Amino acid sequence: MQRCAILDDYQDVALSMADWTPIAGEVEPVVFNDHLDDPAAVAARLKEFPIVVAMRERTPFDAALIGALPNLELLITTGMRNASIDLEAAADAGVTVCGTPSAPGTTAELTWGLILALLRHIPDEVAGLRANGPWQTTVGGDLNGKRLGVVGLGNLGGRVARVARAFEMEVSAWSRSLTDARAAELGVERCATLEELFGTADVVTVHLALNAETRGLIGADLLARMKPGAVLVNTARGPIVDEAALIAALRARRIAGAALDVYDPEPLPADHPFRTLDNLVATPHLGYVTENTYRAYFAGAVEDIRAWLDGAPVRVLSAG
């Protein structure tokens, strides 16, 4: 019987979201509901496990951690991309890394939830009603006729842009690879520069992958170009936006507000300013946390383990 560690299952749902019987009698799943930040503690916990299922990027597997796990043979990440796994180090250590399917569009859906929550002050009004406070304390913003600026017009950015048309918004977009044809396909205006997008949009929403080029891409200079009444939404990755610059802009009220679902690090420290700023709507990285997504993730993990046991791994990820 081989043991499989299932990490960071905050909601304790991994075993109920999939049928694990295809590996019953050969693999024992062991669920961990807590999160460990200390790499030494992670290594101590996992040192005896040949199989590990990691939930997205909650627990990074760098070269040092992989090197501290001599028994590790199969590492599964939910989803098909995980920037926190050193795939070269895994290959060097003889560790097979596999991904899983996911459900489409969930982060795009949350993006619109955050935009509406921020502009209509939904968290504040709900809290006031529950506290039996004053009836109506805010005046909400409108979407109709406003301009949405989409940073990154890939799959998720495209989904967000299509919804904006239903709200009768103007939509502009920028990415390094954005073509006129792609912009025309979605009925959006292509901005030649990020500066143009940030200077003209009422709502800026970020949908880029995190890499060396996008880390810190949105800093004080771009935030300073935003209209005083504009808002920023980030459901992509925390480090794409310069955290200190955003906190400064929110505190000084140089922009009207922000909505965030992603941070660096995660979970967010208890004393972090993002937990208390009154012009920020913040959620704990919920973009992918839906029933359909979790069912796809964990069913895929079972398939990955079964295929690996049979000597024919599927959805193998490599550095190349």
Per-residue confidence (pLDDT) for residue 50, from 0 to 100: 98
- Edge-first strand listing for the sheet containing 27-31: 27-31, 2-6, 51-54, 74-77, 96-98
Average pLDDT, integer, range 86-102: 98
Span 20-40, pLDDT tens digits: 999 999 999 999 999 999 999
- Edge-first strand listing for the sheet containing 189-190: 189-190, 170-174, 147-151, 203-206, 231-234, 257-260, 280-282
Q: What is the pTM of this model?
A: 0.93
Pick the catalytic residue from 121, 159, 207, 285: 285
Specify whether 237 is catalytic.
Answer: yes
Per-residue confidence (pLDDT) for residue 69, from 0 to 100: 98
Question: How far, in Å, are 118, 125, 136, 140 from residue 129 at the CA level?
Answer: 17, 6, 9, 16
Q: What are the structural domains, with CATH classification, of the chain?
A: 2-103+290-309 (3.40.50.720), 106-282 (3.40.50.720)
With bands split at pLDDT 50, 70 and 90, how would you rate the model's confidence at 320? confident
Pick the catalytic residue from 266, 272, 295, 306: 266
Specify whether 266 is catalytic.
Answer: yes
Average pLDDT, integer, range 64-93: 97
Per-residue confidence (pLDDT) for residue 198, from 0 to 100: 98
Per-residue confidence (pLDDT) for residue 165, from 0 to 100: 95
Q: Which residues pair with 189 in a beta bridge?
A: 172
> Among 116-120, 193-197, 264-268, 276-280, where is mean pLDDT lowest?
264-268
